[in-house]
A and B are shown apart, each in its own frame.
Chain A
């Protein structure tokens, strides 16, 4: 009899599948079974053959799994699928548990990734220029900038030749109106000298940068990469084209490399002096330098001081020269907020990891039992560890993916709400390393604490309860996790309430704007078309007339400097003619306004009158309340008095319109003392601020503003458009972000802490159900049982709160060393935080406690 018609290839495949020692025996069986079926006339012989193969393979696999001694690498793949299925069933059975753990992981990962990314990019990532550590920002007051006719130069001239720097550059940020054919577009711009690009040392992508010859205000322009892409559609033949910026034609000579966004992400760079009005009349430029190799900042500062002293031959009147690394200079404004956010998000990450850990431990009882059963049934330790690993991995994949996506969204929200936090263009994904840190920390804790139940069956022995465990079956360190969470919650709450206190105080600040819906915006008048004060004055009159003629406009007013805007402040003495002690009179800033400006902004008239159309020819001024009070506590008395400088009669007193951004205690008194002169008589230099009281929504109001301006001069654009009432929000965006972030984080941490507490107590109650039942049966009052459950929990919470208060104090001490202006958390706020936490904890503990005292003795005794 032959071996029949069984295909040899099938047999070979079967041999490989079955493997093992007794391959020959299995082969023989397969051949024999095949043959018997064939001769017996059975159908589906092929199918049955493979079923036999599977059955033999399965049997051998099972034999191996039963007596695993040590897990070999090949054995590791065994049962993977069933482990996965088990994991899935486990989370499907307890969807609430899985959801909370996932939420804690996702939130922690996402927030940490988003904030670490922003902090890393802004504070740590090197500037995108060669040898960035050699770049410094110099104090422009220390290095005198001299303007002569069209040229601007750094003085004293020795600075250049001292060998400290390989290059020095000037820059002045501002804006220009780009005439794109239709409506002009407002572009961020910077006026820079030829040294500027030498300092950055990045070659242009197309064409050239400025040369010495351009420093005399030649009409040439270098485009930023982003503007070239967005405004000019990446036109490769852009070089040599003429573009009109604020009324002056410029020749495009270059396009910069994509990474160069200094200063303040300009769309174009023009030579210093090419447009006297692009900075809005104010000079707020700076000087950057590239230190020569081997020259330290300290040495450069020293030499610079010596040069300056020698050049000016006098003791220094101004501040001594100072310089700082360019990176630090750029991020100075964002640093406190970012450090704060990094601190709170680190706390959040710690707390969310701790809460994941304590949630996992809350399940310890049931898990330990499950693992003991499995170990008793022959599951190897490796198998149990692998089960835990798979569970952690499952959580990791889901939480990691969701966390990553959420992080991208979150960083975008943060950067758009406070653009100052990001040095570059906003939101381009998140940083892989930041994500790795956040994800690794939370998942590691997840994995480690999932292992706890395995520890219970370590060494193959079925561990007796006792050593290293409390009577309830969870490790002694489990309560400290809860304490840690509570402590972190207190610290976060303290941070949140401190941040909130700042915001609250800021929101209580009276900006004086009673008409919050007024639209405010600015217009820059190019020197080419509006060379003289008369031109500006005429334009102001035309503009006011144009707006007045439009439907819906209730009032329109013009000023040289809107609240919150940057620009030069002209400071003057506030002295009344014929009064003694004029020399000691307070200072104030001199502003200009048209008759309806105060009405449009809603600044109340306190005494006297507003300006009138006829005032343009007269020498009259209006004081704000602070200025009037400085002269006479009874503000009505100052009306009709005469000031000496400017020599003008005070005709009215108006409510304060706050200009600056500082909080009252740090705000300069001069900045709050305002003297208004009629704008037509004191036309501003270049930039005019407009307040337009017009009905309708924002878009409609902006449309009115555009149309009115177009009627007067179609080459101009409006910019810095906002509602007057939005000023506080704009000024305190960073502070608000801090309060919101800290607030949200602390709510999350408290919520997770409460859930953790609930989970642990619920577990405890379940485990002690029998005991409770017996006690109730023996006559213990329900109240007594209640207290028995509540008290240990509250003790944990109280210890946590105490630890949190101490931590807050220590943390504040440490932090205030890094950020000296940091506010101390108030005791009252801490007290409120503690009470809030205590209430939440009580609620979380209450539910299991109720369940414990409601135990029916009969049920409890019958259980198990």
Chain B
């Protein structure tokens, strides 16, 4: 896998960027993660993760004009690169294989 290890939060952000398609910018990603995971997400870490993903060349960004709700400020829209897509696919495959082998009933005895 290119870019090395992906953290859990990075993975979620990557998925969100993919899911938001053309509208993936900081606040939108945060919004999506908050509604989907049900946990409170701060805007700072979202950007940290996005920067890291960009550094790993899994996403790319493009500055576009802002909307009125942003007071006209420009925003950066993120999109997956080919490597990003590949990474997601690979992760999904790994997950699938592991889930297939896992016994999801509660384990007996001590872990």
Contacts and interface: CB of A to CB of B under 8 A. Distances in A.
A25 B43 CA distance: 12
A60 B44 CA distance: 8
A34 to B, nearest CB: 10
Contact of A25 (B42, B72, B75): B75
B84 interface: no
Contact of A32 (B27, B51, B63, B76): B27
A29 B27 contact: yes
Interface of A is mostly: helix
A32 B42 contact: no
Contacts of A69: none
Given A25-B75, A25-B76, A33-B27, A59 B69 contact: no
A28 B70 contact: yes
B45 A1 contact: no
A57 B31 CA distance: 19
B45 A59 contact: yes
A648 interface: no
A413 interface: no
Interface stretch (A48-56, A659-667, A679-687): A48-56
A25 B78 CA distance: 13
A298 interface: no
B34 to A, nearest CB: 11
B47 A28 contact: no
B109 to A, nearest CB: 25
A653 to B, nearest CB: 100
B44 A25 contact: no
Contacts of A27: 71, 73
Contact of B76 (A2, A22, A55, A62): A22
Interface residues of A, number: 25
A35 interface: yes
A22 B26 CA distance: 12
A2 B67 CA distance: 10
B13 to A, nearest CB: 13
Contact of A29 (B43, B51, B63, B72): B43
Nearest to A22: B76
Contacts of B48: 59, 62-63
A348 B11 CA distance: 62
A32 B69 contact: yes
A59 B73 contact: no
Given A1-B69, A3-B71, A31-B71, A55 B44 contact: yes
A59 B51 CA distance: 10
A25 B71 contact: no
A376 to B, nearest CB: 15
B69 A25 contact: no
Given A25-B26, A32-B27, A33-B27, A58 B44 contact: yes
Contacts of B66: 28
Interface string B56-84: 00000001001011111111100000000
Contacts of B71: 3, 27-28, 31
Interface in A1-52: 1-3, 22, 24-25, 27-29, 31-33, 35-36, 51-52
B73 A24 contact: yes
The DSSP consensus for interface residues of chain B is helix
Nearest to A59: B44
Contacts of B72: 3, 28
Contacts of A1: 68-69
Given A25-B26, A25-B75, A63-B51, A32 B70 contact: yes
Contacts of A24: 73-74
A56 B74 contact: no
Contacts of B70: 28-29, 31-32
Contact of A56 (B31, B44, B63, B75): B44
A60 B48 CA distance: 8
A3 B27 CA distance: 16
Contacts of B69: 1, 31-32, 35-36
A25 B74 contact: yes
Nearest to A57: B44
Contact of B43 (A2, A56, A63): A56
A24 B70 CA distance: 10
Contacts of B43: 29, 33, 52, 55-56, 59
Nearest to B66: A28
A62 B68 CA distance: 30
B48 to A, nearest CB: 5
Nearest to B50: A59
Contacts of A36: 27, 31, 69
Contacts of A33: 27, 43
A736 to B, nearest CB: 69
B108 to A, nearest CB: 29
- Residue of B42, B63, B70 with highest tally of chain A CB at under 10 A: B70
A33 B31 CA distance: 9
Nearest to B31: A36
A29 B26 contact: yes
B75 A28 contact: yes
B30 to A, nearest CB: 8
A3 B51 CA distance: 27
A3 B63 CA distance: 20
A52 B74 contact: no
A129 B79 CA distance: 85
Contacts of B76: 22, 25
A506 B43 CA distance: 82
A36 B70 CA distance: 10
A55 to B, nearest CB: 3
A571 to B, nearest CB: 97
Contacts of A25: 26, 63, 73-76
B82 to A, nearest CB: 25
Contacts of A2: 68
A25 B75 CA distance: 5
Contacts of B44: 52, 54-59
Contacts of A31: 69-71, 73
Interface in B31-59: 31, 42-45, 47-48, 51
A59 B71 CA distance: 23
Nearest to B68: A1
A850 to B, nearest CB: 39
Nearest to B28: A32
Nearest to A18: B44
Nearest to B41: A55
A63 B52 CA distance: 9
B61 to A, nearest CB: 10
22 contacts: A1-B68, A24-B74, A25-B73, A28-B70, A28-B71, A28-B74, A28-B75, A31-B71, A32-B70, A33-B27, A33-B43, A51-B42, A52-B42, A52-B44, A55-B45, A56-B43, A56-B44, A56-B47, A59-B44, A59-B47, A59-B48, A60-B47
The 8 closest A-B pairs by CB, nearest first: A28-B73, A55-B44, A59-B44, A28-B70, A3-B71, A55-B42, A31-B71, A59-B48
Given A51-B42, A55-B43, A56-B47, 13 more contacts: A22-B76, A25-B74, A27-B73, A29-B27, A29-B70, A33-B27, A36-B27, A52-B42, A56-B43, A59-B45, A59-B48, A60-B47, A63-B48
Interface of A: 1-3, 22, 24-25, 27-29, 31-33, 35-36, 51-52, 54-60, 62-63
